Amino acid sequence: MENRIKNRVSKTVHKGWATLSEITFDYKMTTGNWVSKKRESYNRGDGATILLYNKEKQTVILVKQFRISAFLNEDKTGFIIETCAGMLDKDDPKTCVIREVEEETGYRLKEVKKIMEAYSSPGALTEKLYYFVGEYSEGMKVSEGGGLESEKEDIEILEMPFKKALHKIETGEINDAKTIILLQYAQINNLV
């Protein structure tokens, strides 16, 4: 791709919880013509997400929390039902997802299975998500979960029948892409 991109200039527009950059560059079209482009890119790092499932009980654990971006996009409440997820924070994806599960749900997993990596919205975000599945049991519960006070998290833990979670996709109650992907992966691969 290097021979199709030149004169790239990046300017930081905002640096806070994440970094918003404005990038100008020349791009060589498939026709051979060069065009100038300007885009904004939001970088908050990569993350990991996991679907917790219990094959014996036919259940999954999801979380519900307030998401300001959903609220600003006219979601009635801003509360989103989703899979456990978090930023890598310099950890490898497996370490991250095991940490997030314990912080958010109170379950301490020993084993997880990575199933894929995917960009969430590559037109505007640099974030790549690492997708996992992991089986849980009651004996793995070590705390109440709910998130970290230091991060001001307010997470509701939802254990529900797998079929009910799938139905919530149909009704629109689950409208988070990573969660839909993982629930459909579980359905296709008969995990639950």
What integer pLDDT is reported at residue 49 of this predicted model?
A: 98
pLDDT in tens, 119-177: 989 999 999 999 999 999 999 999 988 776 777 778 999 999 999 999 999 999 999 99
Rounded to 5 degrees, what angle do the CA atoms 80, 84, 88 make? 120
* pLDDT tens per residue, range 93-132: 999 999 999 999 999 999 999 999 999 899 999 999 999 9
Burial of residue 42, with CB atoms counted within 10 A of its CB: 0-12 exposed, 13-18 middle, 19 or more buried:
middle
84 pLDDT above the threshold of 90? yes
Distance of CA 147 to the CA centre of its chain: 16
Rounded-to-integer distance, Cα 144 and Cα 141, Å: 8
Side-chain half-sphere exposure of 3, counting CA atoms within 13 A:
2
Residue corresponding to tokens 């997802």: 97
DSSP secondary structure string, 77-126? S-EEEE-EEEE-TTS-HHHHHHHHHHHHH-B--S--EEEEEEES-TTTB-
The confidence score (pLDDT) of residue 173 equals 95
Q: Kindly tell me if the per-residue pLDDT of 2 is higher than 70.
A: no
Look up tokens 């026709």; give the residue.
Answer: 31
Residues pairing with 61 in the sheet: 52, 159
